[in-house]
Amino acid sequence: MSDRLEVLKTYKLFIDGKFPRSESGRSMVVHDRAGRVVAHASRASRKDLREAVEAARRAQTGWAGATAYNRGQVLYRLAEMIEGKAAELASLIDACEGGKQNLGTESGAVEVRACVDRLVAYAGWADKYSQVLGCNNPVAGPYYNFTVPEPTGVVCVLAPASPSLLGLIALAAPALCAGNAVVAVASGANPLPAAVLAEGVATCDLPGGVLNILTTQQDELTQHAASHRDIDAIHAAGLDEKNAELVRAGVAENLKRVVVRSLDRADWFDPRLCENPWWIESFVEMKTMWHPASV
Amino acid sequence: MARTSPKQSTSKRTTPTKQATKPAGTTPRGKAGSGTAAQNMPVSSAKSSRGDTWDYAPAPETVKVAIADRYDLFINGEFVPPRDGGADGYFDTINPATEATLSRVAQGSAEDVDRAVRAAREAFPMWSALKPIERAKYIFRLARRIQERARELAVLETLDSGKPIKESRDVDVPLVAGHFFYHAGWADKLAYAFPGRTPRAIGVCAQVIPWNFPLLMAAWKLAPALACGNTCVLKPAETTPLSALRLAEICREIELPPGVVNIVTGDGRTGAALVSHPDVDKVAFTGSTDVGKKIAKSVASTGAGTSKRLTLELGGKSANIIFEDASIDQAIEGIISGIYFNQGEVCCAGSRLLVQESILDRVVKKLRVRMASLRVGDPMDKNTDVGAVNSSQQLATVKKYLALGIEEGAELVLPGVRGEVEAQTPTRGFAKGYFCRPCFFTDVQPSHTIAREEIFGPVLSVMSFRTPEEAISRANNTPYGLAAGVWTDKGSKIFDVARKLKAGVVWMNTYNKFDPASPFGGFKESGFGREGGVQGLRAYVKLDS
């Protein structure tokens, strides 16, 4: 027995650039695969979700108003922060999700490297996607007409259980790079990598409220996210059929844009599949502008 | 204000003819050509602000269009009777300007919808695998035949919908042909539209369209779907099925393979059966936000496993913002076309006019004068600016809002100057048909119902603002986000405001312009997905894997 008692950490929520505990006072115990207690994590409630959405709404206009160049730099900075936390993140993934034994070669370290690369990819997209998705339109008349993508607004990410960190980052990054604010709800299975990610976000120059991260039993919030009228879009993956239907029904609430993905674990590591402007396109609104071009 | 005069201008109206006094539905069917509306119409300009000197002579469109007594469903390349072909199997479609019955149209049942979906399903492998340039050529043929039969289609559209012949002839039908031409060319170029992906057809598309631009909406739906290799089941609006059925005839004429386009007429029940059909891969709907939400719900629950794709083009309450440094006369024209085009039955109608306070009086005065010069009446007259409202039901909706506006304290301004008013309210003074004179409300508060809800009629709400920030926040203060207009001669201001408006289409120093190459569709509760342009193709392709 060691002569020093380890300090067990309680991971907190990340809302509006701050680290509150859940307003509900609840927390959950996170075990490793051997059943030992690794840490505690705050268990977000419906009210925490609402507060995160409010924070995201407040932050969204400013983030969308930042230059595309600036958004790219901030996302790149986030990649730098994750790289710096690679060992910590990898060990949490290995301890709780299975590491090499369960996941083959895709151990925690591989997943974290993919996360960093995913962020770098979308950092680069920030000032390019609008050139790919937007255009001039040759209308039959003396008008200058063009279409530009604009951010949808507040996007809720429902992250898959596996890969927990890469899944969350892959779902959030396309929305963020286009100027949306995100409320990410991590999977309840292993919330710790998401909580550590929050610590990286807090130090990466991303304005408070642009990316909020909630740990909880995700099922608990699915319905609330779907019916929340100030969430403009949902980007989800790994949902069972019941929750997928719940989320899709959210369209009927306020016409929220809903994308529910079902990817195999290996798919998440495929850049061709996950790093392209068509993932961004789901979270932009095309605005078409006309102006007379003759006097 | 003009509303104060109770006088009704019956004196200038032509004596109602025998036909006009007959109850609706007794007009002989099948010969419902043109000209029938003129006789019972009050010629609004007869007592216009310009006096009698400058009145227009009647200029009726004289092309006669054959309309059958009865229309069946278009399924698998054939016109087939509905399965329930008894007395309830058909319903009347009427001319809203005369209330005369034009024809009887099949009421498609769930069983008929199923037949149509199966036909589309069977046609899909062939159509999607067709050499793209061949697919393109079919669509080019469609476009060409539409151009060649343009006048006939325009007349039919005006008879069935009530819109002025000027608009169906110069706007709707040319745009219809344009849409097919534009999209035909995409059929063999789709890979260039989606860099890095291999676009594939989705499958069977269920498309439900409204009555305000009957043929144009059919074109918006069918053209991109067909170009991308999908097959379609289209449900036209209950009150305006005739032009889509004529399009079905054209599909036969150009030898489009059976099942590629199917047209099932009917009411809301037919539409509901179509969008909830389990073998439909994609649903596209244009219509009200209420119905759009119902469809979203139905799609969420019937798309088990493989989720149905959905695009929605819904309602709007679009703001038209006019700054003090705008070119005022141009802006007035834009405001007029923004709200009175197609009797205001336009989802992107500029129904909220936001005027900078310093020019409010000037704008209102000019608006009154210009509004009074609009000619309301026989849709078949080539000089008519504002035709008939599409249905008695829609007219009742407009009337409801007119009453609400007055009740909530706004001031109703009617056409006519110096007390010359034709009727007490915009909807009175017409012997037959569903008419509403263009009008607007002043003293409107943002909280008023008429400033918040979509009226879908020739009714404008005028409000004022002081600063650009106030204009933007007022314009965005709505669950809708379809369109907006900005009027100013200052370039940096117009781009700043346009950028901040939450709307899918922003017209700067213009309004209500449409083009096949220009994407159309909304932000927020005005729906999602675009129609037109390269972005419009997105709704009709699969990009995954």
What residues in chain A have their Cβ under 8 A from chain B's Cβ atoms? 132-133, 135, 137-141, 143, 145, 147, 152, 232, 241, 244-245, 248-249, 251-255, 257, 260, 273, 276-278, 281, 285-292
CA A291, CA A146: separation in Å to the nearest integer? 9
B237 and B290 both lie in a single domain: yes
B469 and B346 both lie in a single domain: yes
Last residue of a domain, one of B314, B336, B360: B314
Q: Which structure tokens are listed for A55?
A: 């924070």
State phi, psi for B439 to the nearest 5 degrees: -160, 170
Residue A212 belongs to a domain: yes
B246 and B330 both lie in a single domain: no
CA A85, CA B184: separation in Å to the nearest integer? 53
- Amino acid in position B476: N
Residue A283 belongs to a domain: yes
- B518 near A CB under 8 A: yes
CA B226, CA B205: separation in Å to the nearest integer? 10
Residue B104 belongs to a domain: no
B388 and B285 both lie in a single domain: no
CA B532, CA A211: separation in Å to the nearest integer? 34
DSSP secondary structure string for all residues of B92-105:
EEEETTTTEEEEEE
Residue B19 belongs to a domain: no
Residue B393 belongs to a domain: yes
SS3 B219: helix
B392 and B456 both lie in a single domain: yes
Question: Which residues, other chains included, contact B253 with Cβ-Cβ below 8 Å and sequence gap of 6+?
Answer: B145
- Amino acid in position B159: L
Contact B524 A288 (CB under 8 A): no
Short-list A142, A152, A151, CA closest to A290: A142
- Amino acid in position A222: T
The total number of structural domains that make up chain A: 1
Write down how long chain A is: 295
Strand partners, B20: none
Residue B408 belongs to a domain: yes
Compute how many other C-beta atoms are within 10 angstroms of the C-beta atom of residue B222: 29
Compute the mean pLDDT over every residue in chain A, rounded to the nearest whole number: 94
- Torsion angle of C-alpha atoms A86, A89, A90, A91, degrees rounded to 10: 120
SS3 B139: helix
Short-list A231, A261, A280, A213, CA closest to A72: A280
DSSP secondary structure string for all residues of B242-254:
HHHHHHHHHHHHT
Which single residue is written with the structure tokens 């007055």?
B406
Which domain CATH number covers B273?
3.40.605.10
pLDDT value, residue B149: 98
Contact B256, B78 (CB under 8 A): no
Across the range A131-154, mean pLDDT stands at 98
**pLDDT one-digit tens code per residue, B127-164:** 999 999 999 999 999 999 999 999 999 999 999 999 99
Compute how many other C-beta atoms are within 10 angstroms of the C-beta atom of residue B93: 25
Instruction: Kindly state the DSSP code that residue B342 receives in the 8-state scheme.
Output: G
Handedness of CA B403, B405, B408, B414 (dihedral sign): negative
Q: Which residues in chain B have Cβ-Cβ distances shorter than 8 Å to A260? A: 307
Residue B155 belongs to a domain: yes
B214 and B332 both lie in a single domain: no
Contact B433, B388 (CB under 8 A): yes
Residue A127 belongs to a domain: yes
Query: Which residue is catalytic, options B99, B157, B313, B422?
Result: B313
Task: Indicate if B347 belongs to the active site.
Answer: yes
CA B319, CA B533: separation in Å to the nearest integer? 24
- For the whole model, what pTM was predicted? 0.92
CA B382, CA A249: separation in Å to the nearest integer? 47
CA B250, CA A51: separation in Å to the nearest integer? 57
List the beta strands (DSSP E) in B57-135: 70-71, 73-75, 78-80, 90-95, 100-106
B283 and B341 both lie in a single domain: no
Q: How many CA atoms lie within 13 A of B535 on its CB side?
A: 31
Residue A5 belongs to a domain: no
B403 and B418 both lie in a single domain: yes
Last residue of a domain, one of B264, B297, B314: B314
Cis omega (within 30 of 0) for bond into A163: yes
Residue A248 belongs to a domain: yes
Contact A255 B519 (CB under 8 A): no
pLDDT value, residue A7: 84
SS3 B425: coil
Compute how many other C-beta atoms are within 10 angstroms of the C-beta atom of residue B465: 21
Residue A3 belongs to a domain: no
Q: Which structure tokens are listed for A279?
A: 């993932």
Query: Which residue is catalytic, options B347, B348, B436, B439?
Result: B347
| Maximum pairwise Cα distance, chain A | 87
CA A274, CA A268: separation in Å to the nearest integer? 7
Question: In angstroms, what separates the C-alpha of B350 from chain A's closest C-alpha?
Answer: 15
State phi, psi for B389 to the nearest 5 degrees: -65, 150
| Maximum pairwise Cα distance, chain B | 71
pLDDT value, residue B6: 38
CA B41, CA A265: separation in Å to the nearest integer? 69
pLDDT value, residue B183: 98
Angle (CA) B229 B233 B239, round 5°: 135
B330 and B262 both lie in a single domain: no
- Amino acid in position A38: V
Question: In angstroms, what separates the C-alpha of B243 from chain A's closest C-alpha?
Answer: 24
- Torsion angle of C-alpha atoms A132, A134, A139, A143, degrees rounded to 10: -130
Residue A237 belongs to a domain: yes
Residue B365 belongs to a domain: yes
CA A153, CA A233: separation in Å to the nearest integer? 8
The total number of structural domains that make up chain B: 2
- Listed as ranges, residues in chain B with pLDDT below 70 are 1-54, 85, 303-306, 416-424, 545
Contact B397, B404 (CB under 8 A): no
Strand partners, A181: A154
Residue B467: Cβ-neighbour burial (10 angstroms; 0-12, 13-18, 19+): exposed
pLDDT value, residue A288: 98
For A286, which residue in chain B has the nearest alpha carbon? Answer: B504
Residue B488 belongs to a domain: yes
**pLDDT one-digit tens code per residue, A238-274:** 999 999 999 999 999 999 999 999 999 999 999 999 9
According to DSSP, the β-strands at A284-292 and A143-151 are: antiparallel
Helix intervals (H) in B408-480: 449-452, 468-476
Which domain CATH number covers A89?
3.40.605.10
List the beta strands (DSSP E) in B241-351: 261-263, 282-286, 309-313, 319-322
Q: Which structure tokens are listed for B267?
A: 């009411």
Q: Which structure tokens are listed for B9?
A: 């201008």
B460 and B507 both lie in a single domain: yes
Q: Which structure tokens are listed for B93?
A: 């479609």
SS3 B143: helix
Contact B527 A255 (CB under 8 A): yes
SS3 A219: helix
Question: In angstroms, what separates the C-alpha of B60 from chain A's closest C-alpha?
Answer: 28
Instruction: Kindly state the DSSP code that residue B172 receives in the 8-state scheme.
Output: I
- B258 near A CB under 8 A: no
Contact B300 A141 (CB under 8 A): no
- Amino acid in position B185: G
State phi, psi for A281 to the nearest 5 degrees: -60, -30
Contact A248 B299 (CB under 8 A): yes
Which domain CATH number covers B514?
3.40.309.10
- Start-to-end CA span in chain B (Å): 64
Question: Which residues, other chains included, contact B214 with Cβ-Cβ below 8 Å and sequence gap of 6+?
Answer: B157, B160, B161, B236, B237, B240, B241, B242, B243, B244
Domain limits at A265? 10-292
Residue B26 belongs to a domain: no
Angle (CA) A209 A213 A216, round 5°: 140
SS3 B232: strand
Contact A288 B292 (CB under 8 A): no
B122 and B216 both lie in a single domain: yes
Contact B375, B57 (CB under 8 A): no
B367 and B488 both lie in a single domain: yes
Domain limits at B221? 75-84+111-314
Residue A1 belongs to a domain: no
User: Of A139, A245, A286, which is closest to B300 when you measure between CB atoms?
Assistant: A245
CA B240, CA B103: separation in Å to the nearest integer? 11
Helix intervals (H) in B285-326: 289-302
CA B43, CA B471: separation in Å to the nearest integer? 38
User: Of B196, B303, B507, which is closest to A290 when you measure between CB atoms?
Assistant: B507
A97 pLDDT above the threshold of 90: no
